């Protein structure tokens, strides 16, 4: 069994991105998500991939999608395209993004793998609802399908884990529940077939509720006899 952990980093500057990527690689991250919406300026995105030996994910979430990018939708998508053209291996596209079919096609033509992502910040939908989201992401041509819910009870972890155990047989899938009550699924979703899961670099740089640090996750995997 191979458990992959993606470390999400929220740099304010490109120079800080270099530093955080180095730290993530030192801690043996399998992938690194660069939250481009955290950057103060976006004029040096092309410099970022050159400093990394680890596959990078470009994510640029708008304020509407609980991110920090406040520019226009055209500007937001241009930044994602710049990332794809300059060596980011993956680009994250929110399900329902304007002109998403065209954007995904252009990202593929630029050489990037596309993660189509869905977030429910209020609850964990039913298994059938999750299945419909997955079908929509697959139909869009997602290379990786990302379905993230919010745990309102510990039992919500079981819904996401049951879903990922079956759905991961037909698609590369990242699926778990956010929030303090969702830590169980965040930790063990790869055991049930998820392509990877997310962690923070440290306590100060968490990018989602319930996120564990990569150190905490690796210690837990070691204690459980998982690698």
The DSSP result for 98-165, as a single string, is: TTHHHHHHHHHHTT-EEEEEEE-SS----HHHHHHHHHHHHHTT-SEEEEEEE-SSTTHHHHHHHHHH
> How confident is the model at residue 227, as a pLDDT?
66
CA separation, residue 114 to residues 24, 101, 195 (Å): 22, 11, 14
- Say how many residues make up the chain: 227
Spell out the domain ranges in the chain. 5-223
Nearest-5° Cα angle at 94, 188 to 198: 25
pLDDT at 9: 96
Q: Of the CATH numbers 3.30.43.10, 3.40.50.2000, 3.40.720.10, 3.20.20.70, which one belongs to the domain with range 5-223?
A: 3.20.20.70
Nearest CA-CA partner of 220 in 191, 177, 196, 194: 191
User: What's the CA gap between 111 and 23, in Å, rounded?
Assistant: 27
| pLDDT tens-digit profile, the chain (227 residues) | 689 999 999 999 999 999 999 999 999 999 999 999 999 999 999 999 999 999 999 999 999 888 899 999 999 999 999 999 999 999 999 999 999 999 999 999 999 999 999 999 999 999 999 999 999 999 999 999 999 999 999 999 999 999 999 999 999 999 999 999 999 999 999 999 999 999 999 877 777 777 899 999 999 999 988 86
Instruction: Indicate if the alpha-carbon torsion angle 42, 137, 65, 119 is positive or negative.
Output: negative
**Burial class for 64, CB neighbours closer than 10 Å (0-12, 13-18, 19+):** exposed
pLDDT score at 163: 98
Determine the pLDDT at residue 207. Answer: 73
Q: Is the pTM of this model over 0.85?
A: yes
The residues that are catalytic are: 119, 146
- What pLDDT does residue 178 have? 95
């Amino acid at each position: 069994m191979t458990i992959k952990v993606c470390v999400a980093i929220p740099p304010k500057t490109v120079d800080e991105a270099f530093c955080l990527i180095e730290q993530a690689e030192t801690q043996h991250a399998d992938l690194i998500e660069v939250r481009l919406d955290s950057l103060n300026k976006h004029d040096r995105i092309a410099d970022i991939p050159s400093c990394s030996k680890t596959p990078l994910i470009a994510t640029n979430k708008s304020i509407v999608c609980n991110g920090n990018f406040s520019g226009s939708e055209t500007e937001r998508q241009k930044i994602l395209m710049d990332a794809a053209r300059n060596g980011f291996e993956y680009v994250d596209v929110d399900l329902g993004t304007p002109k998403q079919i065209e954007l995904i096609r252009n990202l593929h033509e630029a050489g990037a793998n596309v993660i189509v992502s869905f977030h429910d910040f209020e609850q964990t939908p039913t298994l059938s609802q999750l299945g419909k989201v997955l079908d929509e992401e697959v139909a869009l041509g997602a290379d990786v399908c990302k379905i993230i819910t919010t745990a309102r009870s510990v039992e919500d972890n079981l819904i996401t884990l049951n879903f990922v155990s079956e759905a991961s047989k037909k698609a590369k899938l990242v699926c778990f529940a956010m929030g303090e009550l969702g830590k169980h699924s965040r930790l063990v979703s790869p055991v049930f077939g998820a392509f990877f899961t997310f962690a923070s670099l440290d306590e100060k740089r968490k990018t989602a509720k319930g996120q564990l640090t990569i150190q905490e996750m690796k210690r837990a995997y070691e204690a459980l006899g998982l690698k």
